[in-house]
Amino acid sequence: MLEQELIVAVRAVRAACGVCRKVQSALVSADTLEKKDKSPVTVADFASQAVICKQLGEHFQDDPVVGEEGADDLRADGSEEIREGVRIVVSQSIGDEASEAAVLSWIDRGTFDPAEAEEKERKRYWTLDPIDGTKGFLRKEHYAVALALIEDGEVVLGVLGCPKMRVGRQQGAIFTAVRGQGAKTLLIDSDDMVGEPITVASRQEVEKARFCESVESGHSNQSDSAEIAKKLGITKEPYRIDSQCKYAAIGKGSASIYLRLPTRKDYEEKIWDHAAGMIVVEEAGGTVTDVAGQPLDFSLGRTLRANKGVVATNGNFHDTVIAAVKDVLGV
């Protein structure tokens, strides 16, 4: 079940990770950080989406894509240099000259909005974050390429590319999950599709667990996280890492609790920020809900508007964590 979808998704994410690595190596430097120059990540972001959407379009022509990007910003006056940079990077990736119009059309494939579509179009679509963790990318630290398939409002497949994460002694991991078939890890620099199964940590004592949270404090309320940890008796320093790589860390047992706590009341989580990571954790044996303990609802469009925040654990003490979260947040 979903065998062809998984093969295509892994190939697409591998190609996108290759694009991101090349751009990061060639364009990101101490100078770009000092000048707060975001053009390298902009080029990589658009090129990653173009490469993935091209492959999805070739194999699953009728499947829409809910992506983070559209090409309108690239078409704007003053964007000529970045637009040409994206075209060149995509051409290098696909091994053939890509026209500007073709690249922009591939990027625009990611503008689908399920909430505005007809019912038959909402039955099945992909969701994509071409680079999750842009600040991590610019720091040459952790970032992710996240691709997931949603059918009838349920995430059924996820592929999470983490170029800076290690598998054994080798850097560059891809985490995959298919509903009911478990989660695995593969190498980015390989054609292997078999991979190795992963499971969440078996730890039962919540006080001995380790939190995983964002490097950027603006992504989650870290003061509330600290209060929750204190309430649970957790004393270990948090494992701070950018992007959906946090889900991968939970899935492979490097940490046991991930909290993404609301930073403001009106914020709605985007589906592309959680779909791939969520299914990896769940298929590795963990549990993912919102801060009230409710399942994440991916059936409502481009956001998780029925949910507030996210809590992911190894599953063994999820209810205990939720109780502490509710107490601290007053949910």
Q: Is 268 helix (H, G, I), strand (E, B) or coil?
A: coil
| Euclidean distance between CA atoms 255 and 240, whole angstroms | 10
Tokens of 75: 């078409």
105 with 63: CB under 8 angstroms? no
The per-residue DSSP string of 96-133 comes to: S---HHHHHHHHHTTB--GGGS-GGGGSEEEEEEEEE-
Out of 108, 127, 132, 134, the active site residue is: 134
Cα 97 from chain centre: 29
Out of 42, 45, 129, 313, the active site residue is: 45
Q: What is the largest CA-CA distance in the chain?
A: 58
Tokens of 105: 């059309």
Neighbouring residues of 322: CB distance < 8 A, sequence distance ≥ 6 = 289, 291, 292, 293, 311
- Residue written as tokens 């902009």? 42
| CA nearest neighbour of 98 among 107, 110, 109, 89 | 89
Active site residue 127: no
Q: Answer positive or negative: Cα dihedral of 280, 283, 284, 289.
A: positive
Active site residue 45: yes
What DSSP designation does 203 have? -
Q: Give me the active site residues, please.
A: 45, 134
